[in-house]
Structure 1
């Protein structure tokens, strides 16, 4: 009689155990996809804000108003500026970035109490109905736009995404 080839029960169990160990070690890497996707979205928003601020500054330079402070109500189109860059509010950076206010299902933003920063995050991360800048920064997953403070201090944009805070 010919002996049939195949796997024994022990060999199958060992293979299943090895696959289980691999799955347990690899699963957390794949579970972090939402966090990575949100961080990438924030980086994209940062780029949009920087691009819009650069365009506004270029238009302000053409008009010769890039060295004028916001207290004189300087505008480039419908965008208020401070030293040529959009101000950190709805009349400034929100008007400059196309879609920031119209995509209200995705983004929520607010000006900080000192009126020099504008912060934006995902609407789903903030629990308050009318979130303040403090509510947004408490998520530790946001984009922060700082308006220009002088002729030599340009506007800056940064992403704050600490650890797994963007889940």
Structure 2
């Protein structure tokens, strides 16, 4: 009678470990820095929200037909508007866009007439932010909305 083998040989086990090591060496660098990518993607979403909120609140302001109105109500929140252009003031753009301080740093004090929105956890907010500059107090001007995603670590 022949004796049956009851498990894997040492060579088979070593080969499996070597193959898993090679796969891990190639796969690991792809997953090392997902935090920066996640913050950049979050910022892209905030950029779209700010642009949409600016356009929607402006359309609401135009639909009201009162060119002297300095506020509108959007989703239960009062949004301060620039009466000469009908776009949201910098201090109100985050609430108009549904961006909360729970997930973002919202700075409206550094630059007058501008809101700088950066994701929580970013090391240098000047390299990873959305900037909303409210329009000048002259008729027919639009806000400037820009995104910077140079380094979201």
Provide the TM-score with structure 1 as the length reference.
Answer: 0.66
Q: CA deviation at 1:48?
A: 1.6
Question: 1:119 aligns to what SS in structure 2?
Answer: strand
CA RMSD of aligned residues (A): 3.0
Whether the 8 Å CA contact 1:53–1:93 is kept in 2: the answer is yes
Q: Corresponding residue for 1:115?
A: 112
1: CA distance, partners of 2:80 / 2:93: 7
- Counterpart in 1 of 2:62? 61
**What is the correspondence of 1:1-167 to structure 2 with a 5 Å cutoff?**
1-2=1-2, 4=4, 7-62=8-63, 63=65, 65=67, 75-77=70-72, 78-81=79-82, 83-88=85-90, 90=91, 92-98=92-98, 100=99, 103-111=100-108, 115-125=112-122, 136-137=125-126, 140-149=127-136, 154-162=142-150, 165-167=151-153
Which stretches in structure 2 are left out of the alignment for 5+ residues?
A: 73-78
Question: C-alpha offsets along residues 109-138 of structure 1, whole Å, 9 cap, x if unaligned?
Answer: 224755353211123336xxxxxxxx631x
Based on CA coordinates, which of the two structures has the bigger radius of gyration? 2
| Aligned 8 A contact 1:79 1:96 in 2 | no
**1:32-84 Cα deviation digits (max 9, x unpaired):** 3322222222122122211211111112323263xxxxxxx861324122622
TM (norm. structure 2) is 0.71
Cα deviation code 1:135-157 (max 9, x no counterpart) = 631xx222222333576653343
> Which runs of no fewer than 5 residues in structure 1 stay unpaired?
66-72, 127-134
- Aligned length, in residue pairs: 143
* Structure 1 runs (4+) greater than 6 angstroms displaced: none
Whether the 8 Å contact between 1:79 and 1:95 is mirrored in structure 2 is: no
